[in-house]
Amino acid sequence: MTWVRLDDAFTEHPKVVAAGPLAAWLHVCALAYCNRNLTDGHVPASVARRLADIDNPAEAIAALVANGLWDKDEGGYRIHGYLEYQPAKEQVLHERELAKERQARAREKRVTPDVTRESRRDMTVSHAVTSPELRPKFARSSAAPTRPDPNPTLNPKKELYEANASSSTSVDVQAVYDHWRKARNKTDRRYDKLSDGRRSKIRARLREFSADELIRAIDAVALDPWEDRPRHDDVTVLFRSKETVDRFLEMANAPPARVNGYVSDEEKRAGMLLHKQRLIERGL
């Protein structure tokens, strides 16, 4: 079971007040849906319309988008800043796996052997001199004592997770995050600390790409022809999936042609010069 994290001043937030009470309730229902289904903040359009029993859900959705609580996303909407406050899917699954292992160990400790009358008799301690035929039974063995296996078989899922996690060092995660802040001009103080959601996304992509490739993908965001990209450039969006990073790397290798007039030739040239300058700065 997951929980929705809400600030105690949620109802007084300017965006919530501007959206109105019905839209605020729809927003809370969406938070519960995303936590329950581990969608990392994505709300399908078909689900958004029936999340809350309100008269005009389309109007409430429009109010949430207009006031910056939701962002339009492929196939629906994405709760703005979701992973800054709510746990990511990978984090929840890992914690559930750890909880299962703790419960299994606790159950093993509770299991006691069936002590019979004969076994209790055998365990009776006697300080009397034993007969010669019994002495070998209790004699100290000259064989070397057995030792526990230094490499016990662990849970394969946990081993896989830890192996993957170790491959993405904290240094690489921080380096990618710092470059994203610089490249996308995220100077606000709320970005000073790397949130769990952003850290989880960067770690996930570092299992599939090198840190240099992720940095190249970040630089290529400037070449994206989508006019709303500046409003949707959070690292959790840019690193949403392997396919998303692949698309930005393709842009880095071959800048997109002009699409619907969104990117001028001057902007494309400026983006390429900026990308080359950052490559030179990193010695690539």
- How does residue 156 score in pLDDT terms, banded at 50, 70 and 90? low
Domain 10-85: which CATH number of 1.10.8, 1.10.287, 2.40.50, 1.10.10? 1.10.10
pLDDT at 258: 45
pLDDT of 246 above 60: yes
pLDDT at 85: 85
What does the pLDDT read at residue 13? 92
- Band (pLDDT 50/70/90 cuts) for residue 110 is confident
Question: Is 218:185 a contact under the CB 8 Å cutoff?
Answer: no
| Backbone angles phi and psi of 282, in degrees to 5 | -90, 0
Rounded to whole angstroms, the Cα distance separating 165 from 200 reads 10
pLDDT at 245 over 80: yes
Q: How far apart are CA 258 and CA 176, in angstroms?
A: 29
Exposed/middle/buried for 25, CB within 10 Å: 0-12, 13-18, 19+?
Answer: middle
Q: What is the pLDDT of residue 67?
A: 94
Averaged pLDDT score across all residues of the chain: 79
Query: Quick one: pLDDT at residue 224?
Result: 85
Say what the pTM is: 0.45
Average pLDDT over residues 50-64: 92
Instruction: Report the C-alpha gap between 153 and 99 in whole angstroms.
Output: 18
Amino acid letter, 65? V
Higher-pLDDT residue of 68, 263: 68
Tokens matching residue 226: 């989508």
Most confident of 163-167, 209-213, 224-228, 271-275: 209-213
Q: Which residue has the higher pLDDT, 133 or 180?
A: 180
The predicted pLDDT at position 261 comes to: 42
